[in-house]
Structure 1
Amino acid sequence: MISSLRGTVLAAVGTTVVIEVGGVGLSLHVTPQFALSLRVGAEASVRTALIVREDDLSLFGFAEADELAAFDLLRGVTGVGPKSAMGVLAAMSPVEIAQAVSLEDDAAFRKVSGIGPKTAKLIVLSLTGKLDAMATTRTIARARPSTVSDSVTIALVGLGWPERVALQATEDALAQANETEREAVPALLRLALANLGPQLAGSST
């Protein structure tokens, strides 16, 4: 199994890059974004997944470990092959994938070319619970530079509300808050709690 490689970039066009390792040029399938980030003649370190089929050996390359992890999880979903998994990663970051799964937002996956409604629902169902850590702290931290909303969501989860409800309540509070309130955890939390209304913590599904 080839899990990573380091070498000189010989070519980077579209979704294919060629990296020379020990005098051998290895062709990798990558996302367009990753290909654009590489410079011919420069050294690159790539995390890889080797897909072995009866008549083909294909290498898929990733800039970050979480992209490789998301790729492996997506491939485990019925109807999602390596190319479709790469299509999802070309359209969505691992953090966005985690957030969509957490919010049960299969529409986000339907926007990806080659992913139909049935497969989109299967992705959400299959990945539920497998990206929880990324969907909470890492999702919020990367999606928004402020740690205030992060703290509010964590507080709501701590009070017993389901994660997806807490995330939505925080988003709603952010949309309503003025600049001062967005920078203060107590103020934003009050708005989020007001949006949740009289429903009991932990009673929503």
Structure 2
Amino acid sequence: MIAHLHGTVTAAGGTHVVVDLGGLGVRAECTPETSAAVRLGERAELHTSLVVREDSLTLYAFSNPDERDCFELAQSASGVGPRIAQAMMAVLGADGFVEAIAGEDPKRLAQTPGIGSKTAQKIILELKDKVHALGAVRDDISTSPSDAGAWRRQVAEGLEGLGWSAKDAESACDAIAPMAEDETDVAVLMRAALQTFAKKR
């Protein structure tokens, strides 16, 4: 099991980062929030979870261990794979995930793309005892884009990485553009963008 990466960031996209470990470049899938928090050319420590399949080995990275633990816990629910679990972390974060499960709030959990109300209720039923044992508490991570257009690029890439089309991603960015004039936290903007899709349902 690969528990963490500590090296120089050589690349970062909407939902992935590449960390150089002494000449070995390791790519890890991540949430838009984690991607936005790292800086190219600087060292970073990421907490990771390795997902093993018959035809692939995929590493997922998170800014803090609580988020990683919630990502792994989410996958213990039937029908929840790493992609959905990653989307949960992108939309809710560790705190939001724990609160939704512990508070038995399917509506909040269903804010995640790919999760309907019935699926959310099933996940809560399966995880409510486990999440109390987890006791995860997530530290707030503030991420400030380095230029005015950075938030749009990061949010659009993140939405596309979660399965939305480029057109939908741009429409969501347009909808939250007024908010972005005062809000610099990419994670907050990402969640606001996802909320625009929920309002259209």
Q: TM-score range by the shorter chain?
A: 0.5 to 0.7
Deviations 1:120-153 (A, max 9, x none): 11221111122226779x58x98xxxxxxxxxxx
The equivalent residue for 2:39 is 39
> What is the aligned-residue identity percentage?
38
Instruction: Check if 1:107 corresponds to 2:107.
Output: yes
Secondary structure at 1:29 match in 2? strand
The equivalent residue for 1:49 is 49
Distance 2:53 2:134 in 1: 31
- Structure with bigger gyration radius: 1
CA drift at 1:96: 1.3
Structure 2: gaps of 5 or more residues: 141-201
Distance 1:102 1:17 in 2: 31
CA drift at 1:118: 2.6
Distance 2:127 2:29 in 1: 23
Closer, same or farther: CA 25–38 of 1 in aligned 2, 3 Å: same
Distance 1:119 1:24 in 2: 40
Distance 2:56 2:95 in 1: 31
Normalising to structure 2: TM-score of the pair? 0.65
Distance 1:49 1:76 in 2: 13
Closer, same or farther: CA 119–16 of 1 in aligned 2, 3 Å: same
Paired residue total: 140
The equivalent residue for 2:122 is 122
Distance 1:23 1:135 in 2: 37
Return the structure number with greater relative CO, CA threshold 8 A, min gap 6. 2
Normalising to structure 1: TM-score of the pair? 0.64
Structure 1: gaps of 5 or more residues: 143-205
| 1:151-170 correspondence to structure 2 within 5 Å | none
Cα RMSD after superposing both structures: 2.1
